[in-house]
Chains A and B, each alone.
Chain A
Amino acid sequence: MSSLNKTSFYQIFFSYFPIILLFFSVFNEIDFNFLKIDYFSFSFAHILIFYWTLRNLNYLGYIPIFLAGIINDVVIGIPMGISSFCFLIICSVTAYIRYITLTPNFIKDWLSFLFTILLINSIQVIILDLIFLIEIDYLSYLINTGFTFIFYPLFFIIFRYLDKKIILQKDD
Chain B
Amino acid sequence: MASGRDDFVIAFRSAFLKKKDKQRFSLLTLIILSIVVIILGNRDFKVIQIIKSGINEITYRSSYMASIPENKIKKINTQIKEHLNLYQKYKNNEIDFKILKEKKYVNDFLKLENEKLRNLINENINSEEVLAKVLIDKESPYLKSVILNKGSKDKIKIGMAVMDSVYLVGQIIEVNFTNSRALLLSDLNSKIPVILQPEWIQAVASGTGKNYGLIEYTKEDLNKESSEMEKIVYTSGRGGLFKPGIPVGKISKYSNNKIIFFSDFDQLDYVKIVSFNIEGNN
- Is the beta-carbon distance between A135 and B31 smaller than 8 angstroms? no
- Checking A69, A78, A99 against B14 with a beta-carbon cut-off of 8 angstroms, the contacting residue is A99
Let me know if A1 is at the binding interface, CB within 8 A.
no
Let me know if A6 is at the binding interface, CB within 8 A.
no
- Is the beta-carbon distance between B27 and A36 smaller than 8 angstroms? no
Determine the main DSSP class of B at the interface with A. helix
- Is the beta-carbon distance between B22 and A77 smaller than 8 angstroms? no
Let me know if B109 is at the binding interface, CB within 8 A.
no
| A residues 29-47 in Cβ contact with B at 8 Å | 29-31, 34, 36, 38, 41
**Proximity bits, B192-211, A CB within 8 Å = 1, else 0:** 00000000000000001110
On chain B, which size bracket covers the interface?
35 or more
- Is the beta-carbon distance between B62 and A27 smaller than 8 angstroms? yes
Let me know if A126 is at the binding interface, CB within 8 A.
no
Let me know if B124 is at the binding interface, CB within 8 A.
no
A88-B31, A88-B34 known; A99+B15 contact, CB < 8 A = yes
Binds B, one of A102-110, A136-144, A153-161, A162-170: A136-144
Let me know if A63 is at the binding interface, CB within 8 A.
yes
Query: Which residue on A lies nearest to B35, using beta carbons?
Result: A85
Q: How far apart sit A70 and B51, CA to CA, in the bound complex (Å)? A: 13
How many A residues, CB 8 Å from partner?
50
Q: How far apart sit A135 and B144, CA to CA, in the bound complex (Å)? A: 12
Chain A residues with CB under 8 A of B14: 95, 99
Query: Which residue on B lies nearest to A38, using beta carbons?
Result: B210
Chain B residues with CB under 8 A of A84: 30, 33-34, 37
Q: How far apart sit A81 and B143, CA to CA, in the bound complex (Å)? A: 16
Chain B residues with CB under 8 A of A91: 27
Let me know if A118 is at the binding interface, CB within 8 A.
no
A28-B70, A74-B55, A74-B60 known; A62+B27 contact, CB < 8 A = yes
- Checking A24, A98, A127 against B66 with a beta-carbon cut-off of 8 angstroms, the contacting residue is A24
Closest 7 CB pairs of A and B: A81-B37, A95-B15, A81-B38, A27-B66, A29-B138, A84-B34, A137-B209
16 residue pairs of the A-B complex, CB under 8 angstroms, read A27-B67, A28-B66, A61-B22, A71-B62, A75-B63, A77-B143, A78-B142, A78-B143, A81-B37, A81-B41, A84-B33, A84-B34, A85-B34, A95-B27, A132-B42, A143-B141
**Given A71-B59, A80-B52: 6 more A-B contacts, CB < 8 Å:** A57-B23, A79-B38, A92-B15, A92-B16, A134-B143, A140-B141
